[in-house]
Amino acid sequence: MTNTKKVGICMDHSFARIMEFSTLPMETKTINSKFTQHEKDISLAKGESHLNTKEQHHQAEYYKELSEVIRNYDEVLLFGQTDAKLELMNILKPNHLFEKINFEVVSTDKMTENEQQFFVREHFLKT
């Protein structure tokens, strides 16, 4: 019997916390979007059109980086307060590389890192 690799990702548009489910103490890795407030201010000074283009470019890079992480897992729990998790799912769904991965998307309230780890652990212990 093979071991199923499971991961929980708490995300919004600016960062994602990646928590691999295991029996060991859970570690959290963070991926940050490169579209920071400073980047936003610079882009806005050049015009709203430039701002939108820059934001789309950085979001695409951010979601691509997350998709590279997700490819290594069999079960993925995406959760958080914003619609970023749904946007990511809409990008991944049509891609055949992700068709064998079991996804679950859950809207949650704001949580501390410890609460997020507990949420991931409880979710995967139930399944």
Cα–Cα dist 45/68, whole Å: 33
Q: What is the domain-level CATH number for residue 50?
A: 3.30.420.60
pLDDT digits (tens, 9 = 90+) for 78-106: 999 999 999 999 999 999 999 999 999 99
Does the residue 1 lie in any domain? no
Domains in the chain: how many in total?
1
DSSP state of 2: P
pLDDT on residue 43: 59
How much of the chain exceeds pLDDT 90, in percent? 69
What share of the chain in percent tops pLDDT 70? 82
Confidence band (pLDDT; 50, 70, 90) for 2? low
Structural contact between residues 96 and 74, judged by C-beta atoms closer than 8 angstroms: no
Q: How far is 29 from 18, CA to CA, in rounded Å?
A: 5
Domain that holds residue 53: 6-126
Is 30 part of any domain?
A: yes
Nearest alpha carbon to residue 124 among 24, 7, 3, 2: 7
On whether residue 83 sits in a domain, the answer given is: yes
Task: Report the chain's mean pLDDT, rounded to a whole number.
Answer: 88
The mean per-residue pLDDT over the stretch 45-67 comes to: 79
Query: Is 22 a member of any domain?
Result: yes
